[in-house]
Amino acid sequence: MNDLLIKNGNICLPSGMVKKDLYIRDGKVSKIGDINEKADEVIDASGKLILPGLIDGHTHMDFPFMSEVTADDFYYGTMAALGGGVTTIVDFITPSKGENPLDAYERWRKKADPKVVSDYSLHCILRSGDKTSLDAVKPLIDRGVISFKLFMAYKNELLLDDESLYDAIKEIARHGGVTAIHAENGAIVDKRTEELLADGKIDPVYHYFSRPEIVEIEAANRIAAIASMIGRDVTLYMVHTSTYESVDIFREYRKKGYKFYNETTPNYLTYDYSVLEGEYGYRYIMSPPFRTQAEIDGLWSRLAMDEIYVMGSDHCVYSDEQKKRYMDKVPPFNEVPNGTPGTETILPLLFTNGYMKGKISMEQLVSVSSTNPAKLFGLKNKGNLLPGYDADIVIIDPKKEFTVSYKMLHSNIKYSIFEGEKLYGFPEITILKGKKVMENGRILASAGSGKYVPGEISK
């Protein structure tokens, strides 16, 4: 028997916050109430908030992209996760060109299993609509990979044409899976990139001008139209939504009974594209890009109206050297690998800029960062602190302020894109299935102690 008692904390349950004790036995939440039983370990959580561990539904660890492999492998990346109270990540299997997605699944498991310190689940990128890719959908679902990402950008690499998108969405829906979509009009991005470069506009800020809001909005409209032709059985999930207009498009389809959902990242809620103009602008190059203040405000208001379903970080980390392609000056914007760190700062950014500023409630914070991704990705035992669920728990001291520095974070890079920000809500303790795995910034779990969690399709 192995039990843990967390006393006197404010627990965030689906029904609201309650000041109670939480009793954990054999890795599961066992009871909530006024509990006086003995336990192997007791944590006094007076004055603290207790939330379900976060589920970051969008990470790229050990990810080969734009001729670089991300700096965070599954060890560094899941340490960063635990540091931020994320107890489960959902990472993207990325087949190489021509590789059978089933072989890529095996490769991803081999990369992740010996290294993870958090739990993890998997999506799979389909980089083609050919028979091999479509035939892999059902066997992947049987292995617990129930969501598939399709790209409308990155020509000759990941982009699928409309016909392939249609075929892939149909096959995924036939087996009850989720289609995740990268919605940007890749052809127009390439065109605008060529035009900007021809005019000598090479600085990082032109990354934003190469992919303006309308590039995403057009793709969101198009994919919603294509998916709606297939029918109401399709579950469509727009990842890293950077514009409120895309949220509105999906909301209108939802009103007609379509299962269309949006994810956004804390990045898009925090900074506008002027970050690309600073000395370290290249560090902020990700796609879609940072937007305008109007988009930031629009996304917050949609979050407050429960119109954004999931908060994923799109954690995709490159070192300064990789971002600069090992040169001592910044290369043209289109050569900088796209991606930013994020998993470790989801909770403090939402807590400080959302909850503390009265924009969202604690219940909303927990829904988008834990309960909803658990539901969507079929992680049946996660995302909630009711009895019977995995005891994946974050304890935060709501009064403790942190000044962000890369030195307190766990990614394998020497910068943070939030350097110097004063944030509340970094966890004091992270617990995975009843075991303390992080305390005051120290990771207590060893490589390989996390587990693969297969997604299950709800019947």
Closest chain position to Zn ion (CB): 182
Write the CA distances from 332 to 192, 203, 337, 417, integer angstroms: 14, 6, 11, 20
Looking at the Cβ atoms of 179 and 384, the one nearer to ligand DUC is 179
* Alpha helices in 328-453, H assignment, sequence order: 346-350, 362-366, 372-376
Smallest separation, CB 149 to ligand DUC (Å): 9
Smallest separation, CB 354 to ligand DUC (Å): 22
Write the CA distances from 431 to 10, 66, 81, 84, 86, integer angstroms: 16, 35, 12, 12, 10
Smallest separation, CB 339 to ligand DUC (Å): 4
Encoded amino acid at 195, one letter: E
Exposed/middle/buried for residue 431 (C-beta within 10 Å: 0-12, 13-18, 19+)? buried
Smallest separation, CB 239 to ligand DUC (Å): 8
The single residue among 339, 354, 450, 455 that binds ligand DUC, judged by CB under 6 A, is: 339
Give the DSSP letter string of 215-264.
HHHHHHHHHHHHHHHH-TT-EEEETT---HHHHHHHHHHHHTT-EEEEEE
Is position 314 an interface residue for Zn ion (rule: CB under 5 A)? Answer: yes
Smallest separation, CB 29 to Zn ion (Å): 31
Alpha carbons 394 and 274: distance in angstroms, whole number: 33
Is position 283 an interface residue for Zn ion (rule: CB under 5 A)? Answer: no
Looking at the Cβ atoms of 212 and 427, the one nearer to ligand DUC is 212
Alpha carbons 129 and 224: distance in angstroms, whole number: 18
Report the side by side order of strands in the sheet with 259-264: 54-59, 86-93, 119-125, 147-151, 178-182, 235-238, 259-264, 310-311
Is position 234 an interface residue for ligand DUC (rule: CB under 6 A)? Answer: no
The single residue among 182, 211, 302, 323 that binds ligand DUC, judged by CB under 6 A, is: 182
Judge contact between 102 and 136, C-beta under 8 A.
yes
Looking at the Cβ atoms of 25 and 182, the one nearer to ligand DUC is 182
Of Zn ion, ligand DUC, none, which one sits near residue 102, judging by CB under 5 to 8 A according to partner kind?
none
Of ligand DUC, Zn ion, none, which one sits near residue 65, judging by CB under 5 to 8 A according to partner kind?
ligand DUC
The single residue among 48, 170, 182, 207 that binds Zn ion, judged by CB under 5 A, is: 182
Looking at the Cβ atoms of 287 and 353, the one nearer to ligand DUC is 287
Of ligand DUC, Zn ion, none, which one sits near residue 425, judging by CB under 5 to 8 A according to partner kind?
none
Looking at the Cβ atoms of 105 and 290, the one nearer to ligand DUC is 290
Looking at the Cβ atoms of 210 and 287, the one nearer to ligand DUC is 287
Q: Which of residues 186-215 bind ligand DUC (CB under 6 A)?
A: none
CA-nearest of 411, 321, 373, 405 to 120 is 373
Omega before 288 within 30 of 0, i.e. cis: yes
Number of Cβ within a 10 Å radius of residue 377: 27
Alpha carbons 88 and 240: distance in angstroms, whole number: 18
Alpha carbons 137 and 71: distance in angstroms, whole number: 29
The single residue among 146, 183, 236, 286 that binds ligand DUC, judged by CB under 6 A, is: 286
Is position 237 an interface residue for ligand DUC (rule: CB under 6 A)? Answer: no
Is position 61 an interface residue for ligand DUC (rule: CB under 6 A)? Answer: no
Q: Are strands 64-65 and 68-69 parallel, antiparallel or unpaired?
A: antiparallel
Smallest separation, CB 431 to Zn ion (Å): 27
Looking at the Cβ atoms of 185 and 430, the one nearer to ligand DUC is 185
User: Around 275, how many Cα atoms within 13 Å sit in the side-chain half-sphere?
Assistant: 21
Smallest separation, CB 173 to ligand DUC (Å): 22
Contacts with ligand DUC by CB under 6 A: the residue count is 8
Smallest separation, CB 427 to ligand DUC (Å): 26
Encoded amino acid at 374, one letter: A
Those residues whose C-beta lies under 8 Å from the C-beta of residue 339, and which sit 6 or more positions away, are: 60, 63, 65, 70, 285, 286, 314, 316, 317, 318
* Alpha helices in 305-425, H assignment, sequence order: 320-323, 346-350, 362-366, 372-376
Smallest separation, CB 239 to Zn ion (Å): 5
Number of Cβ within a 10 Å radius of residue 92: 22
Helix (H) or strand (E) holding 104: helix 101-112
Of Zn ion, ligand DUC, none, which one sits near residue 286, judging by CB under 5 to 8 A according to partner kind?
ligand DUC
Smallest separation, CB 359 to ligand DUC (Å): 25
Contact code string over 130-169 relative to ligand DUC, x by CB under 6 A: ----------------------------------------
3-state DSSP helix/strand/coil percent for the chain, to nearest 5? 35, 25, 40
Is position 350 an interface residue for ligand DUC (rule: CB under 6 A)? Answer: no
Is position 275 an interface residue for ligand DUC (rule: CB under 6 A)? Answer: no
Is position 246 an interface residue for ligand DUC (rule: CB under 6 A)? Answer: no
Smallest separation, CB 153 to Zn ion (Å): 8
Question: Where on the chain is the footprint of Zn ion (CB under 5 A)?
Answer: 182, 314
Applying CB under 6 A, the residues found at the interface with ligand DUC are 60, 65, 182, 286-287, 316, 338-339
